[in-house]
Chains A and B, each alone.
Chain A
Amino acid sequence: MGEFKVHRVRFFGYMPSGIRCMSFNERAERLALGRLDGTLEIFNFKDSFYQEKVIPGNDSRSVEAVCWVAERLFTAGLNGEITEYDLENLCPKYSLDAFGGPIWTVACNAQGTHLAVGCEDGSIKLFEILPEKIRFERNLDRQKGRVLSLSWHESGTRIAAGMLDMIRIFDVQSGHATHRMLVDRGVSGMRNHECVVWCVAFLSDLTVISTDSSGKVQVWNAAMGILSSTHLVSKSDVLSLAVSKDESSFVVGTSEGTVVQFQFLANILGGDEKAWVRTKTFKPHTHDVRALAEIGTAVVSGGLDTQLVVRPLLDKVDIMSYDNVLHKIHFPHRSLVSCAQKAGMLLFQFPAQLEVWRLGESEGRGEFCLGTREKWIPFQGEDHISCSAISPCGGWLAYSTVSSLRVYRLQCDEHVSISKVPKLPKVLRSAHQLSFSDDSSKLFAASTHSMVHVISLSQSECKHLHTFKPKSGSTEPVHLLAASKDGKWLAAANRGCEIHIYNLHKLKPHCTVPIYGSCPTAMGIHPTSNNLLMVHADRQIFEYSIVEKQYTDWSRRVQREGLHKLWLERDTPVTHVTFNPRNAAQFMLHDTYMFCIIDQSLPLPDNKCQFYNQITLKSLSEQERLSHAHAFKMCTKYQHLLFLGLLDDESLVVVQRPLTDIASQLPAPVRLKKFAT
């Protein structure tokens, strides 16, 4: 197998941002997630919870609430604006000021015709949804006190609004409040504090559920305006609420990190008299649970501890499968690290800055790699960085935001000096993905409408050579780019699962890889054979011969024999492919919890054989070892991997970000009494 010198890097201070809100689109099975830094992420729940799209945030824009209207996505924030997004170009489409001060909540009616927003000044504003934009329609009766939560009744004629110390039911037609339901402030010590109704949900049987800052979950009868039951869930706030589609259960999230499920159960089995009963309690988080969604078979929760947890409801699950186990998503499903193989430099991408590090030498075996932070590039402007790349020679650096793209020249001697390339071709306005060719002479920038611009880089100038357009006419953004070592081929994968191969010599599209139903998460072109290796979100591996325009024999064998069950059940997607220069039959994959060397010359494991067999193999003799060996060599020594790549001196770079480091940077959680302490 060979030995590698490992640079174990732990100096990437990546810090994900806390989750603020989420909204689940039933039809498309996509979850939109808003983070505290304004980033929007879209997860495809059909495709192994793959993080499909990321819309970088903006310092001036906060996301307080997110709302799907059919396939359109709206957010509202404390800057008082409602924003619609362009999901193809991954940027805001337009913003509209509601003129009501900061917006706390946005809700769409079941018919998809109106948006209601709740503002700081106590007004609830209705916006009509038009095909291309939204238009302010009218205000409901203005009240005193901010509106923190809104929920439409299914019929679209009533709105429940959670405010300070009260819940109001509005009649949409007249705009008047029909009921005013006062929420108890809770325990005596909290009498002076206002009770904030964090969430309301209007059920079709005119029941309103509210959660508030005194730890109560209350069920109200909105027809009569009376309280039907109170459940004390927490000593601190209950911050989030999500009702299941069939309205038979709801979940609430507390600031203690617990998620409590309530179910609408008959008192007598088979009887008609039903009541909301508190049933299960989970503790998926350590901090505030700010966002919740109940998606039929699972509860999705997110909070200030930055992780997204998909917890299956086992009573609704028929067959145990990959989709029905607990998932915790800590890291983005794209690479934030790029590596200059020849120069031994790493580029780390932060939302508002870039860091260039030069790898040093570690003193002894197993020591962590030392690095020197060469350059810190703070970013001017409000938009966050969407992608970045460093050239293999370490001489060029490029990054892009939603609005601009910049290329820098790096001078590597004792210290790295940086200079901005002044004149860029006009076509380079922004990019979804950036990549350099192996000889660092070309920059590939994936732009809008799946276009890929090829820019030749030289000391004197940057010249736009060509723009490839996909034949399919797809407009989905490109998220992966791979150039061959010999500089002849370029593969581009977009979110529509298409992979196009372009000939860089002829500057012509070469072919399209047959579309597979799952989105590719990592790909690479083999340095010698020019075979394109692709790993998809469902962890299937394909190898496609670019020259022959067909799948290779090995790929066909993989498809025929199938991959091992344990491989298919791995929790996180493969984010990077590297080829072993010493052995053409070997390539390396990594996900968050392991890296794996796949040897194409060895037989594939079948479901019966032991998958993680390294320890067993160690104990066997040479002859037996051969008979037991299979293609997958797993290494779980390095956990929480953000990047794993090979340098040109054939040493391995492992970039880790331990979760404990992330947890230590989080604010202190709500203090809980622990038994026997």
Chain B
Amino acid sequence: MVASAEVRVARCGGSRINFIEPIITLDSRFLLCASGDAVHVYSTSTEERVHVLQGHVDLVTGLRLNSSNHLQVYSCSLDGTVKLWDFTDGILIKTYIVGHKIFSLYVSKFHEGTVFIILPMESSANTEAFQLVALHLPKTTGPEVEARDILSVLRDVSPIPKATSFGRGGEFVASASGLQLSVYFFRKQKTYRFSLKANDKKGARNRFTCVASHPNDDCIATGHEDGKIRLWRNFSQKKEYTYSTEHWHHSAVNALHFTPEGTELLSGGVESVLVLWRYGAGSKKDFVPRLGSAIEHISVSPDGSLYCTSHKDNKIVVMKSSRDISAIIQGLVKGETIRTDLLIDPRTKALVCNGKPGHLQFFSLRHDKQLYNLDIVQQEYIHEAGLHQCEVTKAAIDAQGSWLATVEERQENPEELDIILKLWAYDESTQSFHLNTSISMAHEGQISAMCFSGDAEATMLVTTGRDGHFKAWLLADHPDAQGEGASWSCDYVGSYHRREPTRCCFSADGSLLAVGFGEVVTVWSPSTWELLVTFSQPPGDIRDLCFGRLSCSKYLLGTTTKNLLCCWNLLTCSLEWSSTVDVILLQPDPLSENMAAFSRASGSTDLFVFKPSEPRPLFSQKAVCSGTVRRAVFAPREEVLEGCDESTQWLSCSRLYFLTEHMELMTFSTKSEEDQIIASSKQLVIDDSVAVTPFYLLLGKHRKSQRETQDSVSSHTAARIQLPQGSPAIRELLHTPAHVLPSASFLCNMFVNSLLISKSGVREDGRCREEEMGSEEEEEAEEQESEGEMEASVSAQGPAVQGFQTEPTPQLSKAQERELRKLQKADFSWLSSLLDS
């Protein structure tokens, strides 16, 4: 009932990966970027996510490699901690608790044991003031350390990370804020401040946007609002400082970065062009054009071989210094607004919503990765301020995922409205949607709602328009269109007293259609198009409509603009109950009877989860986020969450995702779930001395099986512990650096010998295998039971796919582990048969 501490609002996948500058590791193999509360580690060559470093409980705001150990990374967050991670293994090494919100983090090679962070100024009423401080990291052991040793370096700095930069050898730090550039020299302990005029006669806008320092020379590059880049020199003089100006960008310079050798300066802005300025050669420059979206950050790998740009559409592009693009990491594309509802694609379980302009994106929430973009508008996108673009405003997918309906809209002026309704069929062979029917001006006015019927046999689409009609569309064969196959056409046009329909909703079995006309809800039978019943609960227009599911399918729920949540009983045709809540969003869970209602309350949004049949809500939480919730959706889980108590039961088979006012995708996570994640990561950490490869699994299987069977007490296996691990040959093979290893032929002999000894262990494993098989079957059965037939099909095809994907991911989900085990078995039987022969 009451929001328990067990359920917490968490950022989930789909966070901004372009929030701060990504960093590339010293060996250029990995790219680290902050994504919401976590740090993601991607491979720069395969774009695959290798690790997720979880541990922060608020936005990660800074990320820097540890200069004394290049396999470690510092991260800071608004939760007031600095954490040190081992990113190759994904282990949290240390947490330094600072206790203030941290906005940015810097590391200087020449300040051992110190990191620099930007904090809000204390003791000032002005919350807009920030200071750069040096944080001494205490050398005490233990995972959590209080770090209170703070030394103020610069006051009145900008909290934006790219507005501060450390210069050559950490001799100075330059920070720009507004119209002022401050340079602090550590050795002299002196600050120089240089100001520019806000604008001059020629209309220059001189506000600083970003700062970069040359790695070898004393030169600071600053970017400005009007697209100028200034190169400051001689800034240890109060007056004789000097700068040169370069101008290519036509609007603000968003990012600046020097290459590690200092031979090139990279800059980027809204033009989506990466500009490479030759250092010291005046205005000589090269371009990498057509990067797709405005550049937000630029970073360069420490060896200078990779450039990396973050883009406004939540994308990171990794390119080689030869300017070939080597990887594109695409996150959830979030624009300023979202016009479509959040949808779940039943086939891929991906989130479907507006992506790039004129596109729909399919985003896998599980892998936090964009699956693909579907070009709906199919027009060239021209970036220009004030240009009216064709926008996808509505989208719907039917229950089987075989049809997708989209509405695109373009309004140049109030009279000229251009609406196209498009229906897309899923093509099994190409595994994507193909345009089937395009209907221009499906309604005279804007289309206000659209839904597919849940009926599997005859899929029907209903659209409601501002022209006072609702239309039903059916797939029909046209004999005259040769070879074209079936296409969609209008089956029925309905209206009700010339009122304007606002919402429509099908019951779960598709036998009833509810259409809200102003304050009246009409219920129709789609088979006969007969108006069955009307409900009305004035005053207030219908805002949301939905039918109950499963055991509650006799109920129809509606919310009105006048703060009323009504539940009508369709059997008695009467109002079952109503309650005065200002519900802005009503979202049914497709897998249970539960409904989620978001209500507005004084600057924040509350959530209620209830069953229509029960008077008391299952769960309620006040202030899930500040501002209003824009969209929400229930996404089915891959596997049912176990160990849920009463208050978290509603989260067991699907997760609730919602988009906040600031376009952040949030979800609810339970404590047990988090514990599982942490437990699994810890467990992996302990024995993770070797990368998890199929080869490792082959060899390390004994160890693993031993560990697993250890719990189910078995004395004879305990004696077998030493076998693979204790074998000096194997240990030598795995622990000796490659360059001092003897030749492979020599090793091979040793290796085979070590396996021959383990022959007696095969029998033991055979027994274990049976045990495991049994447990696996159980698990699978459970899954099937809970997730229904849809999920079963996925889980059946899953192993086949994943069998080939045994990536070196130490963080294994249960399913993956199972697959590995399966592989282990297969491999082993093959090997043992070889050995036997």
* A interface residues with partner B (beta carbon < 8 Å): 229, 231-233, 261, 263, 265-270, 275, 277-281, 314-318, 675-676
Contacts and interface: CB of A to CB of B under 8 A. Distances in A.
A279 B234 CA distance: 11
A550 to B, nearest CB: 46
Given A233-B282, A279-B233, A263 B242 contact: yes
B240 A315 contact: yes
A315 B217 contact: no
Nearest to B169: A268
8 contacts: A267-B217, A268-B168, A268-B217, A275-B280, A277-B233, A279-B242, A318-B239, A676-B250
Contacts of B217: 267-268
Contacts of B218: 266-269
A279 B282 contact: no
Question: Most chain-B CB neighbours within 10 Å: which of A267, A275, A281, A317?
Answer: A267
B243 A280 contact: yes
Interface residues of B, number: 23
B665 to A, nearest CB: 39
B242 A280 contact: yes
Interface string B238-279: 011111110000100000000000000000000000000000
A316 B237 CA distance: 11
Most buried by B among A261, A266, A279, A315: A279
Greatest chain A CB density within 10 A among B236, B245, B281, B282 is at B282
Given A233-B282, A265-B234, A268-B218, A278 B244 contact: yes
Contacts of B283: 232
Q: Which 4 pairs show the lowest CB-CB distances between chains A and B? A: A279-B242, A269-B218, A267-B217, A279-B244
B244 A232 contact: no
Nearest to B238: A315
Interface string B146-177: 00000000000000000000001001000000
Given A263-B242, A266-B234, A315-B240, 10 more contacts: A232-B282, A232-B283, A263-B233, A265-B233, A265-B234, A267-B218, A268-B217, A269-B171, A269-B218, A676-B250
Contacts of B243: 279-280
A209 to B, nearest CB: 15
Contacts of B233: 263, 265, 277, 279
B216 interface: yes
Nearest to A229: B280
A277 B246 CA distance: 13
Kindly name the residue among B235, B237, B242, B243 whose own CB sees the greatest number of chain A CB atoms within 10 A.
Answer: B242
B287 to A, nearest CB: 16
B236 A316 contact: no
Contacts, number: 58
Contacts of B497: none
Contacts of B168: 268
A521 B428 CA distance: 94
Contacts of B216: 267-268
A232 B280 contact: no
A618 to B, nearest CB: 28
Nearest to A231: B282
A280 B230 CA distance: 10
Interface string B743-774: 00000000000000000000000000000000
B716 interface: no
A277 B244 contact: yes
A280 B282 CA distance: 11
A652 B242 CA distance: 50
A315 B241 contact: yes
A276 to B, nearest CB: 10
A278 B278 CA distance: 13
Contacts of A275: 280
B284 interface: yes
B280 A316 contact: no
B225 to A, nearest CB: 16
B250 A675 contact: yes
Contacts of B250: 675-676
B282 A278 contact: yes
A287 B239 CA distance: 31
Nearest to B240: A315
B296 to A, nearest CB: 24
Contacts of A318: 239
B667 to A, nearest CB: 46
A269 B216 CA distance: 11
Contact of B242 (A265, A269, A317, A676): A265
Contact of A280 (B237, B244, B284): B244
Residue of A261, A268, A280, A675 with most partner-chain B CB within 10 A: A268
A263 B234 contact: yes
Contact of A281 (B236, B241, B245, B284): B245
Interface string B35-74: 0000000000000000000000000000000000000000
A317 B171 CA distance: 28
B236 A315 contact: no
A318 B240 CA distance: 11
A281 B228 CA distance: 13
Nearest to A230: B281
Contacts of B240: 315-316
A104 B325 CA distance: 55
A267 B167 CA distance: 12
A261 B235 CA distance: 17
A281 B236 CA distance: 21
A265 B234 CA distance: 7
Contacts of B241: 315
Contacts of B239: 314-318
A314 B282 CA distance: 22
Contacts of A229: 280
A278 B279 CA distance: 11
Contacts of A269: 171, 218, 234-236
Contacts of B235: 269
B530 to A, nearest CB: 63
B244 A315 contact: no
Contacts of A261: 242
A315 B235 CA distance: 11
A281 B244 contact: yes
Contacts of B284: 232
A279 B244 CA distance: 4
A315 B282 contact: no
A310 to B, nearest CB: 18
Interface string B361-379: 0000000000000000000
Interface centre among A269, A281, A676 (most CB of B within 10 A): A269
A268 B171 CA distance: 10
Contacts of B242: 261, 263, 265, 279-280, 315
Nearest to B172: A269
B280 A277 contact: yes
A268 B234 CA distance: 9
A357 B97 CA distance: 89
Contacts of B236: 269-270
Nearest to B167: A269
A268 B215 CA distance: 11
B792 to A, nearest CB: 61
A676 B384 CA distance: 13
A285 to B, nearest CB: 15
Nearest to B171: A269
Contacts of A277: 233, 244, 280
B3 to A, nearest CB: 55
A640 B217 CA distance: 48
Contacts of A316: 239-240
Nearest to B185: A269
Contacts of B245: 280-281
B116 to A, nearest CB: 20
A265 B231 CA distance: 13
A653 to B, nearest CB: 33
A11 B77 CA distance: 73
A281 B168 CA distance: 26
A263 B240 CA distance: 11
Nearest to A262: B244
A150 to B, nearest CB: 27
